[in-house]
């Protein structure tokens, strides 16, 4: 029987590899180009990729293990997407000069409500 670490190792490597590729692309974008609206949208997308990959890998490492590795992988991916959305939202707030604690708290509140909706569906599938 394989351990959970061995079960999720390829997914962790993939998530961290995706994050590394996004970080490299973000670095190249920042160093070689001048900012304009298209580059800002690309930067926000890359921040989504980097934060999503790191959050997915961390969720796989730190999450409780269910009986189904596919369920754990799906949950970690969902949490990675929510983490990536939080990072991209913060980047868009910064680009619009609206990065204030209240705005950031609102983004985190909305994403927290989405996560709670998924958790409640899992506990009460009916």
d(CA 105, CA 76): 22
Residue 48, both tokens: 């989504």
Q: What is the DSSP letter of 96?
A: T
| Residues spanned by the domain of 115 | 4-123
pLDDT digits (tens, 9 = 90+) for 32-52: 888 888 888 889 889 999 999
List the chain residues with pLDDT less than 50: 1
Is pTM, for the whole model, over 0.85? no
Give the number of other CB atoms < 10 A from CB of residue 44.
Answer: 18
Residue 109, pLDDT score: 95
Number of domains in the chain: 1
């Amino acid at each position: 029987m394989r351990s959970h670490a061995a079960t999720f190792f390829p997914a962790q490597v993939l998530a961290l590899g995706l994050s590394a590729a996004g970080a490299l692309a973000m670095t190249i974008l920042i160093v070689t180009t001048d900012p304009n609206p298209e580059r800002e949208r690309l930067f926000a997308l890359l921040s989504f990729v980097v934060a999503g990959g790191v959050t997915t890998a961390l969720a796989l490492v730190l999450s409780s293990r269910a009986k189904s590795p596919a369920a754990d992988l799906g949950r970690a991916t969902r949490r990675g997407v929510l983490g990536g959305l939080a990072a991209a939202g913060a980047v868009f707030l910064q680009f619009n000069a609206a990065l204030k604690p209240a705005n950031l708290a609102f983004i985190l509140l909305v994403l927290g409500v989405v996560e709670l909706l998924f958790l409640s569906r899992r506990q009460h599938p009916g």
